[in-house]
């Protein structure tokens, strides 16, 4: 038995020794399989990922910004452009740490730049951008020349050429043009899919924002191969940036400058001039204004920023597209409601008196006596309040509201910068029942005083100067509601898509037109042509409006010319300027009319 047991042990040993090569081969196979699998995963399954990482380690893309398209007036005069500026930068990979203090001293000495700010910029930049750090901006021509003279001894430093937005006329048309600003981090998360980079600028307001897509252009850049320490080895390719498109505006710079000058002695107000047939805006000025070049500054202090954005004068706020009480310029709307309703036909005559009582208030005639029995034309000519009280109260709030809507009120005008525009207010019973925009539903009912006030454009009616220009264009062009716009872009603005025929009887239209002509011939607007005899026949309306927010009266004047075949509508508005529309707003409109007429006559002579 003992011999058998020893023989079994010997056999087992032999089997074990015989299996050792197989085990070794199995281990090798497993190791080889693991290595092969890992290589397959790295090179095949994850090859593109690691190839991208490798390329990013040796390839750098240096971006080149596009040149933003210019903004030009209708004759090609430049209103906004891109301007070259020079900045000083350094490439830290080319400047050893122990060499920086010496370079800093020389740059400060040669260019007369403060060391502390450059050193701070360099210290921060080494962390954030190891390829290029901007040390100073807006170098003068003298500083650039001094740098070029010593460039060979300033290894690592360079002068860069940059583009900034430039507005050659400063504050002129600032609310129309708008301004550009760097995009925010929040905007970048959305805009990067459209090709924007974090250092990009975007149109923030005005035409700059409305036509951002056209003006912007496309980025370009150069692909550089670099070594392990970041030294550029060679260029792998260059893509030129694509310039943005120039945009011709409908603005006439001569009229725009005239509109700006008309506001020079006003603390706040607006002037709008447009073509009554197409809606093309020839001028749109607002005061107070601002200089859009401010936003092109590389650095601005908090004090400067607050002075603009937190100013009680609100210079960034366009008065041309925000709403105010219109006063007597609203009376043609009431006239239209009276005639279109059939209750007060075009030949009606009403007795005007010193005041008429509605509710608890006796609403006065502005001359405190009345004008006797008069019709629409004379009521417009003398701007009778008690005539239009009777018409407005007689037709009711619904008819007045419907006439206002036909003329484009209580709605956005369709202008490209409508995101900045107010739609105004045309009060009625439904509006009052809902709380008037500030109260609780059911607690602010419509009362008799409301419809009387609405009849002469007070308290419950607020409109923008642009809306008023658009409405009077209906009387100027024979009954069409146009779409105001700042750029033509090969659009047919007289098509039914942009120009709507107003539901108004010819007799209504002609009665209002004749009344507005009489205003300038012998009424409240007679001073318009007394000092300007060369002006063609003009029709218009003065307005003095109580400020429903509690301020001083507003002054208004709106007109169109020539009367028979009108080419221009002008609205002049002086905010919180007591004294009357004929005293303050009419001379503003006359200044613009005179420039328009001079250019018109000169054009006819050519």
pLDDT for the residue numbered 92: 78
The whole-number average pLDDT for the span 46-72 is 65
In Å, what is the CA distance from 84 to each residue of 66, 164, 165, 414?
A: 13, 7, 9, 36
Take residue 578 and report the two structure tokens written for it: 């007591």
Higher pLDDT, 178 or 54: 178
**Domain final position from 248, 273, 289:** 248
Residue pLDDT, tens place only, 281-340: 999 999 999 999 999 887 778 888 888 999 999 999 999 999 999 999 999 999 999 999
Tokens representing residue 234 in the block? 């060679």
- Residue 192 confidence (pLDDT) above 90: no
Q: What is the pLDDT of residue 6?
A: 54
Domain assignment present for 20:
no
CB 219 within 8 A of CB 63: yes
Do 354 and 496 share a domain, yes or no?
A: yes
Nearest by Cα to 545 from 427, 470, 461, 449: 461
Same domain, 185 and 268: no
Per cent of the chain over pLDDT 70 is: 84
Instruction: Provide the domain limits for residue 433.
Output: 253-306+318-605
Q: DSSP class of residue 366? A: T
Q: Please count the structural domains in the chain.
A: 2
- Mean pLDDT on 378-400: 97
On whether both 238 and 266 belong to a single domain, the answer is no
Q: Based on the domain organization, do 223 and 364 belong to the same domain?
A: no
In a domain, 447, yes or no: yes
Say if residue 288 is preceded by a cis peptide, omega within 30 of 0.
yes
Question: Do 331 and 460 share a domain, yes or no?
Answer: yes
Q: Residue 77: which residues within 8 A CB-CB, separation 6 or more?
A: 253
239 in the same domain as 213: yes
Lowest mean pLDDT among 87-91, 406-410, 487-491: 87-91
Which segment of 89-98, 111-120, 263-272 scores lowest on mean pLDDT?
Answer: 89-98
Q: Which pLDDT belongs to residue 243? A: 83
Alpha carbons 336 and 333: distance in angstroms, whole number? 5
Confidence check: pLDDT of 193 > 90: no
Are residue 361 and residue 241 in the same domain, yes or no?
no
Two tokens, residue 307: 């002075």
- In the prediction, which pLDDT does 365 show? 95
Residue 232 has pLDDT above 70, yes or no: no
Distances (CA, A) of 286 to 23, 364, 574: 92, 33, 10
* Report for 108-117, 139-148, 173-182: range of highest mean pLDDT: 173-182
Identify the pLDDT of residue 201: 87
- Cα 430–434–435 angle (5° rounding)? 120
Asked if residue 50 is part of any domain, the answer here is no
Q: Is residue 458 part of a domain?
A: yes
Statement: residue 76 has pLDDT above 60 = yes
Q: Are residues 105 and 173 in the same domain?
A: yes
For residues 229 and 334, membership in a common domain is answered with no
Selected residue with higher pLDDT from 570 and 139 = 570
pLDDT, tens digit (0-9, with 9 covering 90-100), for 452-497: 999 999 999 999 999 999 999 999 999 999 999 999 999 999 999 9
Domain boundary among 230, 248, 266: 248
The token pair at 566 is: 């009108």
Q: Give yes or no: residues 144 and 274 share one domain.
A: no
The answer as to whether 159 is a domain residue is yes
Looking at residue 333, its pLDDT comes to 98
* pLDDT tens digits along 587-597: 999 999 999 99
In the predicted model, what is the mean pLDDT of the chain? 88
End-to-end CA distance of the chain: 137
| Local structure of 174: helix, strand or coil | helix
Residue 169 pLDDT exceeds 50: yes
Both 73 and 95 in one domain: the answer is yes
What pLDDT is attached to residue 385? Answer: 97
Using pLDDT thresholds of 50, 70 and 90, give the confidence band for residue 231. low
**CATH no. for residue 345?**
3.40.710.10
**pLDDT tens track for 499-550:** 999 999 999 999 999 999 999 999 999 999 887 888 999 999 999 999 999 9
Q: Is 521 inside a domain boundary? A: yes
Tell me what the mean pLDDT of segment 114-138 comes to: 77
Whole-number pLDDT of residue 401: 98
Q: In this predicted structure, what is the pLDDT of residue 150?
A: 85
Q: Does the predicted model carry a pTM greater than 0.85?
A: no
Mean pLDDT of 237-251: 84
Whether residue 376 sits in one domain with residue 237: no
Distances (CA, A) of 334 to 84, 135, 328, 510, 559: 55, 64, 10, 15, 18
Outline where 441-542 has alpha helix (H): 448-455, 465-477, 506-522, 527-530
pLDDT exceeds 90 at position 124: no
- DSSP assignment of 247-261, as one string? EEBS--HHHHHHHHH
* Domain end call among 225, 248, 271: 248
pLDDT over threshold 80, residue 269: yes
The tokens describing 476, both together, are 């100027």
CATH code of the domain containing 244: 3.90.1310.10
579, part of any domain? yes
Q: Name the token pair of 25.
A: 């081969």
Q: Is 212 exposed, middle or buried (0-12, 13-18, 19+ CB in 10 A)?
A: middle
Q: Does residue 44 lie in a domain region?
A: no
């Amino acid at each position: 038995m003992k011999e058998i047991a020893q023989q079994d042990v010997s056999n087992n040993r032999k089997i074990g020794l015989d299996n050792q090569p197989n085990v070794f081969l199995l281990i090798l196979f497993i190791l080889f399989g693991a290595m092969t699998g890992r290589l397959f995963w790295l090179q095949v399954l994850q090859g593109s990922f690691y190839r991208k990482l490798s390329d990013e380690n040796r390839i750098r893309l240096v971006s080149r910004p596009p040149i933003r398209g210019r903004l030009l007036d209708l004759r090609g005069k430049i209103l906004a452009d891109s301007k070259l500026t020079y900045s000083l930068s350094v490439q830290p990979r080319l400047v050893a740490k122990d060499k920086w203090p010496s370079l800093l001293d020389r740059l400060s000495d040669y260019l007369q730049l403060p060391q502390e700010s450059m050193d701070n910029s360099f210290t921060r930049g080494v962390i954030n951008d190891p390829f290029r750090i901007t040390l100073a901006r807006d170098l003068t021509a003298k500083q650039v020349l001094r740098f070029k003279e010593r460039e060979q001894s300033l290894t690592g430093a360079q002068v860069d050429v940059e583009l900034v937005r430039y507005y050659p006329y400063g504050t002129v048309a600032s609310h129309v043009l708008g301004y550009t600003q760097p995009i925010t981090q929040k905007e970048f998360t959305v805009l990067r899919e459209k090709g924007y980079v974090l250092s990009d600028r975007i149109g923030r307001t005005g035409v700059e924002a409305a036509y951002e897509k056209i003006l912007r252009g496309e980025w370009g850049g150069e692909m550089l191969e670099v070594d392990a320490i970041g030294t550029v080895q060679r260029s792998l390719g260059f893509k030129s940036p694509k310039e943005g498109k120039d945009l011709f505006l409908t603005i006439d710079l001569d009229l725009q400058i005239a509109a700006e000058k008309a506001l020079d002695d006003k603390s706040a107000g607006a002037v709008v001039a447009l073509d009554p047939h197409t809606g093309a805006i020839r001028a749109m000025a607002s005061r107070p204004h601002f200089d859009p070049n401010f936003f092109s500054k590389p650095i601005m202090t908090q004090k400067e920023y607050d002075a603009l954005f937190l100013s009680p004068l609100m210079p960034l706020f366009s008065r041309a597209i925000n709403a105010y009480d219109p006063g007597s310029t609203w009376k043609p709307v009431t006239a239209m409601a009276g005639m279109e309703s059939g209750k007060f036909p075009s030949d009606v005559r009403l007795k005007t008196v010193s005041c008429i009582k509605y509710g608890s208030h006796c609403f006065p005639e502005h001359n405190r006596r009345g004008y006797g029995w008069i019709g629409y034309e004379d009521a417009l000519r003398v701007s009778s309040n008690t005539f239009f009280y009777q018409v407005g109260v007689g037709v009711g709030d619904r008819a007045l509201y419907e006439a206002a809507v036909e003329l484009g009120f209580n709605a956005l005008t369709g202008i490209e910068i409508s995101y900045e525009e107010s739609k105004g207010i045309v009060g009625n019973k439904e509006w009052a029942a809902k709380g008037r925009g500030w109260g609780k539903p059911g607690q602010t009912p419509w009362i008799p005083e409301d419809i009387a006030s609405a009849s002469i454009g007070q308290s419950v009616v607020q409109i923008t100067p642009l809306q008023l220009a658009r409405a009077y264009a209906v009387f100027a062009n024979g009954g069409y509601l146009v779409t105001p716009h700042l750029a033509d872009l090969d659009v047919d603005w007289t098509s039914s898509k942009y120009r709507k025929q107003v539901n108004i009887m010819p007799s209504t239209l002609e009665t209002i037109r004749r009344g507005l002509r009489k205003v300038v011939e012998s009424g409240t607007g007679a001073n318009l042509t007394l000092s300007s005899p060369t002006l063609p026949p003009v029709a218009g309306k003065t307005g003095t409006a109580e400020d429903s927010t509690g301020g001083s009266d507003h002054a208004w004047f709106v007109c169109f010319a020539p009367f028979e075949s009108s080419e221009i509508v002008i609205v002049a508005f002086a905010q919180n300027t007591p004294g009357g529309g004929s005293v303050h707003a009419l001379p503003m409109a006359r200044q613009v009319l005179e420039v328009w007429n001079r250019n018109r006559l000169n054009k006819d002579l050519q």
